[in-house]
Amino acid sequence: MPAPDVDVAILGGGCAGLSLAVRLAQSNLSVRVIEPRTEYVDDRAWSFWRTQSDPFDDCVRKEWASWTVQDQRGQTLRTSSHMRYQTVTSGAFYRRACEMIDQSEKSSLSLGVAAHGVARNGREWQIETDAGALTAATIVDTRPPRRIPTYGQFFLGREIKTERPVFDPDTVQLMHFRRARCKGVDFVYILPFAVDQALVEVTSFAPENPGHAVFTEWLDAEINALNPGKTEIIRTEAGALPMEVGFAEPAPEGIIRMGLGGGAARPSTGYAFSRNQIQADRVAATLIDGKFANVDLDGPIARFMDRVFLQVLAAKPERGPALFDTLFRNVPRDRLERFLSGSTRTADRVSVMASLPPLPFLQAAAFPK
């Protein structure tokens, strides 16, 4: 039997697929990334607390050492002497990934090509695409999941340039809570790049998307309340991230699932960029060693804590602002940020559990839904 066309076929060239491809580009494996988009545009930003280095360190647009959370009790300011909240723009990320793939003799990126079906053919896989059939020894599927989560993070944001200096460029407005417009926990998020430029985003943790009309009216009101003078819209972004324990979409036997469908988004926060990098490191290392990758990022303790927290949020969304404010007020510096980023340190987990009111969480733990 002839050798397959490539060692690894990556279905989907988004954050997860390109993150893996960049790592494999430096190996001896032949790789093909199949992506239906015809071109990449700067249409989003990924933000996170930096906990480890990755190939996209030089794509960071800005970093901050302080962030705020605000509810009816007032505002909480947190700072860190060494942890940084960073944002990576998709435009810089895509350019960096494409450059590294182009520099590899054994890696390629097929834009404008969609994969329609896969089938096992002996010891290899056959993939039907718009450009014809392709065979591969291994398939990594990073395409978005088809199923809808029972709870999610929904958002609409605009990066704007303002006439007046209305932003504090040194502090991220992480979660400033607002009256709930639907069935969830609603807040405003502002990433300030300068005194007159920022990403202003309205976000809802909810069982369903409030809808474009609700978000647009809300976002307009938040921007107007800044009294910014004339504004220029630089770009708009919108999205939905799963916040559900066990959301990973099952893959056919022998196919590796990565990205949102592989459980990359942290269930209790929706953070995915750093976890995509961890997954990519793990999958790349095992593929280079000729093994099959385990992409599960969360152990039983993390899954239990996320499930209980999300059950409380879903059952009593009106408690959400106070719960988040309590965490940011009471958990020691850096421990909460590490926990939200996926830390498995015992001290971080204990600090988070000790800061929350016990009754609603004991009830959720005792009566899972």
Higher pLDDT, 166 or 298: 166
Mean pLDDT, the chain, rounded, equals 93
Q: Which pLDDT tens digit goes with each residue over 322-365? A: 999 999 999 999 999 998 888 888 898 899 989 988 877 777 77
- pLDDT number for residue 14: 97
Task: Give the pairing of strands 152-162 and 197-206.
Answer: antiparallel
Lowest model confidence (mean pLDDT) among 274-288, 314-328, 344-358: 344-358
pLDDT bracket for residue 92 (50, 70, 90) = very high
The yes-or-no verdict on residue 146 having pLDDT over 90 is no
CA angle 324, 330, 334 (to 5 degrees): 90
Q: What percent of the chain has pLDDT over 70?
A: 99
Dump strand ranges (E) for the chain: 6-11, 31-35, 45-49, 60-64, 66-71, 74-79, 85-89, 107-111, 115-121, 124-129, 132-141, 152-162, 172-178, 185-194, 197-206, 231-242, 256-257
Tokens 């939905």 — which residue?
240
- Residues 176-197, mean pLDDT to the nearest whole number: 95
Q: What percent of the chain has pLDDT over 90?
A: 74
Which SS3 state, helix, strand or coil, does residue 252 take?
coil
- Which residues are 132's β-sheet partners? 129
